[in-house]
A and B are shown apart, each in its own frame.
Chain A
Amino acid sequence: MTGLLADLAIGAAILALAAGMVAARSAFTATAFFIAYGLLLGLAWVRLGAVDIALTEAAIGAGLSGVLLLTAAARLAARPVATERAPGPLLTALIALCCAAVAVAIGAAILSLPEPTPSLAAEVAANLPATALGNPVAGVLMSYRALDTLLESAVVVLAVVGVWSLTPPGGWGGFPGPFHLRVESGPLALLARLLPPIGIVIALHILWVGKDAPGGKFQAAAILAAMWLLAWMAGLATPPRIASRRLRFAVSAGAGLFLAIGVAGALAEGAFLAYPAGWTKALVLAVEFALTASIAVALALLVMGPPEEEDRA
């Protein structure tokens, strides 16, 4: 009974925050709603028993996306741009109608699904011993559907290329993102000194338990990226220039190693991404560590953004 009440409260709060986000007048208010919305969504995933998704939602959906949106809102406020005309009442009503229709259709379709809904959960669990992994989510990500994970890690590299391709004239090769003066006092300076050691330990823990319990590379990478960003914003850490070969290697290394292991599987076992018997755990661990580092660097670079106009060297 209390569980049902809690679920109802979370559901109502998520809807209210979503409505607030749509109705908000300023980008800052909307972003604040968005971050709270992401955190509550994480809670909802916990209630559904999907702790892996909850962690990812909180770290990336609310955390890093929130920082990204806040910086974007700040930049827009500093340099107001002529926006397109807001849609008129008729168009607004039409958009609302379309969204409502899609929501109703999806709701109806979900309610009409057969009971019990077909699921691969039993098969995932039955084959888990063959993957040498204890967490079924890790089994799916690193073994059954390893290809999707590999390609997503390549998409992260592509995202860095895409963001850097927006570098304004004169900025190519310079330091990513805006310059932050060193903050000597205040909450940011304190947090930037206090949190990183704790954050790094937590990230490593989440990464390490990920193969057997909820957690893993994306969540760990998001925390590591957040720690770097914190130090960067406080002016304590200067990121390398985007021309730096080492930085670029760091972004590509994880996906590169994963690809190499995939090819090795093709040569040794006759199937791309097949892990040779007895080597599974070691190879998966190597990929997890390399990917965590690469994704952490990439996520931080995505939030920092491309270099600015003037090279400040």
Chain B
Amino acid sequence: MTAAVTLAPTPWGMLPVLAVVLPVAGMVAALPLGARGAERLTLALVPFGLLIALGMAAATYASGAPLVHLLGHWAPPLGLAFRADGLSAAMMLTAAIVIGAVALFARAGFGTPAGAPERREALSFWALLLALWGGINLVLVADDLFTLYVALELLSFAAVPLVCLDGGRATLEAALRYLMFALLGSVLYLLGVALLYGAYGTLDIVLLSERTRAIPATIVAVALMTAGLLAKTALLPLHLWLPPAHSGAPAAASAVLSALVVKGSFVLLVRLWFGVMPGLPVPAAAQILAGLGAAAIILGSAAALAQARLKLLVAYSTVAQIGYLFLMFPLLAAALGTPEDAARAWTGGVLQAVSHAFAKAAMFLAVGLMAKGLGHDRIADLAGAGRAMPLCLLTFGLAGLSLMGVPPSGGFAAKWLLLTSAIEAGQWWWALVILGGGLLTGAYVYRVLATALTAGPGGATGREDSRAWIALGLALISVALGFLPLGAFGLVQIGRLDLAVGGVP
């Protein structure tokens, strides 16, 4: 028997290592450097992070194979490998751009002028942002389930304090609730990891993809890990922690939490289902996951429509948009033998993750600026905001287009791919959910725009905060993704482990 996938070191394998080491080293250095040093270090690391992500995308695309690095020259199962495939490269580029934008945005709120005393929020924010960046990059490139556990720890322990950075009682409660869900998720995930090691003697995803069989240990392990990761991804009904946490955090933190942190555990879930156990038939379980996703889309969008506060509306919109991600599970499971259909569902899911990241980061930053400018975020009292803050409102509208799935936008391309996959797979009910979700999304976006565009007293005069351009830039990217030719998404197909197994009947 020849192994379908090999784990030999490749040229450029050092890029994924750098992508993890730079932000982690930055976080470790941030503490002795102090708030001002940490801020400048973060801003200095952003261009390097972008270059590394671009380099990874280019190297993966050029070679058509994932980048692999064996740490300390030890090969799995004894040692650890980094394996960066197309999905890693695409998500890492997304993370680098969003983190860079958020870092620029946050200088106004968390900056430390020369000679000023260090502030608690400032040092905490920059150190936590760096840790979060390192955590997300590690989730994307690690090939070992325990290393991935450490990555989840980095992500959670960076994300939870970001929620309560303002120190108020309400946000402390939200952070504590988030911590409980995140810890429950970690414990369930770790239980599954131990079971898988007991059953197969390795935690390397590539090795596991060749070894896993449908025995009780595998099923219990995957069920536990899936439940744990769902709690961290906030898929309904485990979403209860998300709206207070994401709406209570400072705008810059909300943007990374909604855009990136929930995607980290989602990517790990994809690796688990289509990497660790690619050959196992799981149509019923995949239908359950997508059923929860569909409920999240409808109920989350309806809840967003019912909110009186703008920040909560955006947070409930995240609950709904996470739902779309899970539609790819049954569609991929159904298309196991037909590579073209599988590629479409895969691209749809990844594109949804990427375009939502840009759109939601833009939306949270814009809403944060509006709340600051108006002194409140009550939707009913937004009248006049359109005149006072046209850039913010434009950002909200453009990001809303992508969330709705209106062409041309990244969100449209993602939802269109999922929709056609659903019809192709004969699972038309998901198509109805996608259309219904789009209508509800349109309703809540329209509600905000319509109120804000009426004349009213909310229109403070004066120049709009220049940071609105940063938010607008992110929203434009989420729209521009819809203009990319579909061939460009060949990148995200590279290194898919379900192909190696699914391709052989």
Contacts and interface: CB of A to CB of B under 8 A. Distances in A.
A114 interface: yes
Contacts of B71: 146-147, 271-274
Contact of A109 (B150, B161, B201, B221): B221
Interface in A152-211: 152, 154-155, 157-162, 164-169, 172-173
Nearest to B224: A102
A18 interface: no
A123 B217 contact: no
Nearest to A273: B72
A285 interface: no
A172 B31 contact: no
B164 interface: yes
Interface in B76-96: 77-80
B27 interface: yes
B153 A112 contact: no
Nearest to A150: B24
B371 interface: no
A160 B27 CA distance: 11
Contacts of B80: 144-145, 147-148
Contact of B217 (A110, A146, A151): A110
Contacts of A124: 78
B17 interface: yes
A251 B27 CA distance: 12
A148 B220 contact: no
A25 to B, nearest CB: 21
A131 to B, nearest CB: 9
Contacts of A106: 191, 195, 220, 224
A166 B161 contact: yes
Interface stretch (B123-131, B326-334, B454-462): B123-131
B118 A120 contact: no
Contacts of A10: none
Contacts of B25: 256, 259
Given A118-B200, A259-B21, A110 B195 contact: yes
A161 B220 contact: no
Contacts of B153: 155
A189 to B, nearest CB: 33
A29 interface: no
A243 interface: yes
A248 B31 contact: yes
Given A265-B72, A266-B14, A108 B32 contact: no
B216 A162 contact: no
B110 to A, nearest CB: 12
B198 interface: yes
B360 interface: no
Contacts of B79: 144-145
B463 interface: no
Interface string A238-262: 0000010100110110011001001
A112 B215 contact: yes
Interface string A10-46: 0000000000000000000000000000000000000
Interface string A53-92: 0000000000000000000000000000000000000000
Contacts of A245: 32, 34
B496 interface: no
Contacts of B215: 112
A157 B27 contact: yes
Contacts of A272: 14, 17, 21, 69, 71-72
A252 B73 contact: no
A165 B74 CA distance: 38
A113 B220 CA distance: 12
A112 B78 CA distance: 25
Contact of B72 (A143, A164, A263): A143
Interface in B16-48: 17, 21, 24-25, 27-32, 34
A274 B72 contact: yes
A161 B128 contact: yes
B27 to A, nearest CB: 6
B154 A151 contact: yes
Given A123-B78, A146-B72, A109 B17 contact: no
B199 A118 contact: yes
B469 interface: no
Given A152-B150, A172-B119, A252-B29, A120 B17 contact: no
B147 interface: yes
A112, A172, A263 — most chain B CB neighbours (10 Å): A172
B146 interface: yes
A265 B71 CA distance: 10
A269 interface: yes
B77 A123 contact: yes
Contact of A151 (B24, B165, B191): B24
A275 interface: yes
A97 to B, nearest CB: 15
B78 A127 contact: yes
Given A113-B198, A118-B199, A167-B120, A162 B128 contact: yes
Given A110-B217, A248-B32, A158 B158 contact: yes
Given A108-B216, A147-B71, A272-B69, A161 B202 contact: no
Given A148-B80, A172-B119, A110 B28 contact: no
B133 to A, nearest CB: 12
A215 to B, nearest CB: 22
A119 interface: yes
Nearest to A119: B201
Contacts of A160: 31
The 7 closest A-B pairs by CB, nearest first: A118-B201, A165-B124, A109-B220, A273-B72, A172-B120, A109-B217, A165-B161
21 contacts: A106-B195, A109-B195, A109-B221, A113-B199, A123-B77, A124-B78, A144-B72, A144-B74, A147-B147, A148-B146, A151-B154, A157-B28, A158-B127, A158-B131, A162-B157, A164-B123, A245-B34, A255-B28, A256-B25, A269-B73, A271-B72
Given A143-B72, A256-B25, 16 more contacts: A106-B224, A108-B216, A113-B217, A117-B201, A120-B77, A146-B72, A147-B71, A147-B80, A154-B24, A157-B27, A157-B28, A161-B124, A162-B157, A248-B32, A266-B17, A272-B69
